[in-house]
């Protein structure tokens, strides 16, 4: 697999207007490339930060069996309106992954909600409580530790993440996440995704991001 790819900044599904202002979906092309690379038809694909369901929608389109978790009810409802395997989608919390039931999983393709090092609200709790970057990274590590309960041996885990460049400086989120997750999963390396088209609001100052590739060895 190439370690640098240019993907089209496009999505097949049209989303309702209310989601357009904070559209942080993964690009269809990139998700499709990873699902084809690491799974075959009939395999299970999980995204525990499902968002608007790109992983689940593309997995199902490719004949894989999708599973997902999404914190926000509105997004959860949107995802179940788009997939056939509705019962495989949980309106829940990735931090409670261990409490849910999933079959053995062949591939995880996910992009956790991001956090800037200066933020003081907890993105993993819908910004409802106070938080900080160290706690966020600790929670992320715990989620991926718990995830191992469901992973098939030698399965792959792909994490889409960016470094964040804002007026307050740079948060090396991709590298920090890579570091903490390398403690619990085997880090196989990164694929850098560049994208065509204009830089949007969710680009955080960069024209590329990382797909960190881990395996369950």
Ligand X SMILES: C[S@@+](CC[C@H](N)C(=O)[O-])C[C@H]1O[C@@H](n2cnc3c(N)ncnc32)[C@H](O)[C@@H]1O
Please report, as ranges, the residues that interact with ligand X according to CB under 6 A: 24-26, 49, 51-54, 69-72, 75, 93-95, 111, 113, 124
Residue nearest to ligand X (CB): 51
Indicate the residue among 24 and 85 with the shorter CB distance to ligand X: 24
Indicate the residue among 21 and 217 with the shorter CB distance to ligand X: 21
Least separation in angstroms between CB 153 and ligand X? 25
Least separation in angstroms between CB 24 and ligand X? 4
Indicate the residue among 15 and 184 with the shorter CB distance to ligand X: 15
Alpha-carbon torsion (30, 36, 41, 44), positive or negative = negative
CA distance 78 to 65: 18
Indicate the residue among 12 and 154 with the shorter CB distance to ligand X: 12
> What HEC string does the chain produce?
CCCEEEECCCCCCCCCHHHCCCCCCCCHHHHHHHHHHHCCCCCEEEECCCCCCHHHHHHHHCCCEEEEEECCHHHHHHHHHHCCCHHHEEECCHHHHHHCCCCCEEEEEECCCCCCCCCCECHHHCCCCECCHHHHHHHHHHHHHHHCCCEEEEEEEEEEECCEEECCEEECHHHHHHHHHHCCCEEEEEEEEEECCCCCHHHCCCCEEEEEEEECC
Least separation in angstroms between CB 211 and ligand X? 11
Least separation in angstroms between CB 189 and ligand X? 21
Indicate the residue among 53 and 66 with the shorter CB distance to ligand X: 53
Contacts of 17 (CB under 8 A, 6+ apart): none
C-alpha closest to that of 143 among 95, 180, 76, 188: 95
Indicate the residue among 149 and 154 with the shorter CB distance to ligand X: 149
Indicate the residue among 154 and 166 with the shorter CB distance to ligand X: 166
């Amino acid at each position: 697999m190439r370690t640098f790819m240019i993907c089209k900044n496009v999505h097949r599904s049209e989303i309702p207007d209310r989601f357009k202002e904070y559209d942080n979906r993964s690009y269809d092309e990139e998700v499709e490339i990873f699902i084809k690379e690491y799974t075959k038809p009939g395999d299970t694909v999980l995204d525990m930060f499902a968002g608007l369901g790109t992983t689940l929608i593309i997995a199902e389109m490719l004949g894989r069996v999708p599973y997902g978790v999404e914190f926000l009810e509105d997004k959860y409802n949107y995802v179940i309106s788009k997939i056939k395997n509705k019962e495989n989608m949980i309106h829940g919390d990735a931090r409670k992954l261990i409490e849910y039931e999933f079959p053995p999983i062949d591939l995880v393709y996910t992009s956790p909600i991001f956090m800037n090092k200066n933020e003081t609200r907890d993105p993993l709790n819908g910004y409802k409580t106070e938080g900080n970057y160290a706690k966020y990274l600790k929670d992320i590590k715990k989620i991926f530790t718990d995830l191992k309960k469901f992973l098939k041996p030698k399965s792959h885990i792909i994490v889409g993440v960016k470094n964040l460049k804002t007026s307050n400086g740079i948060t090396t989120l991709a590298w920090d996440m890579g570091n903490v997750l390398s403690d619990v999963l085997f880090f196989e390396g990164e694929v850098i995704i560049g994208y065509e088209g204009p830089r949007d609001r969710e680009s955080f100052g960069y024209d590329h991001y990382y797909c960190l590739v881990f395996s369950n060895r």
